[in-house]
Structure 1
């Protein structure tokens, strides 16, 4: 197996960062319209993800998917397929921590190959930078 390849979930990538904010603040931001636009993409008129399992979404950029699970102040798991891809991946955004520090994690699995994994590593690092900057 190659770096980043797993037996059960294909190629995957994870990016995490400890932020100097309470978990509730980080969660409320990442699921807000402003936060979603930074990591998921602009949802246009939909504005928010619908938390129910199976709820579908489409971003203004053409990425589509559906919510697999949504546990408030914990994690959201969804399928993620950009317009020019021929396969779905799974993305999980999770928050953990107590007090004034929170770990924010982006994790993506079922990537096609090592090249796509490398591309997505940069994508999620950039998304993390945008979210971190917006939270101040």
Structure 2
């Protein structure tokens, strides 16, 4: 099971161009990066959200994993298939957080994203 809408690019999309997703893909990006993010998939490419948060793509594997900086932090989102192929695990990991308060705030954000993904998948 893959979540291309969460990463903002369908598998096999052209490299080097920012995603200009519509519908579900735009909503998926907005869930975890913030509104207005057009996420390129080329390593080293930059992005900016409507809130002014900037980052850079550090790694991308279509429908499986993306690693980006988000301001001073690094975020990795991974999708792992579960046994049987009908379910998957979705994991957020964020590094270089500056304080316990920031860790808790970002943990709550990640939990909210995961809850919303689960709700949309029904």
CA distance in 2 between partners of 1:100 and 1:126 (Å) = 23
Q: Which runs of 5+ in 1 are unaligned?
A: 1-22, 82-87
Aligned to 1:34: 27
Does the residue aligned with 1:73 lie in a helix, a strand or coil? coil
CA RMSD of aligned residues (A): 1.4
Of the two structures, which has the highest relative contact order with CA contacts closer than 8 Å and spacing of 6 or more? 1
- How much does 1:73 deviate? 2.5
Selected match of 1:96 from 54, 73, 80: 80
Aligned to 2:12: none
Q: Which runs of 5+ in 2 are unaligned?
A: 8-24
TM-score (norm 1): 0.70
Aligned residues: 103
Q: Which runs of 4+ in 1 moved over 6 A?
A: none
- How much does 1:117 deviate? 0.8
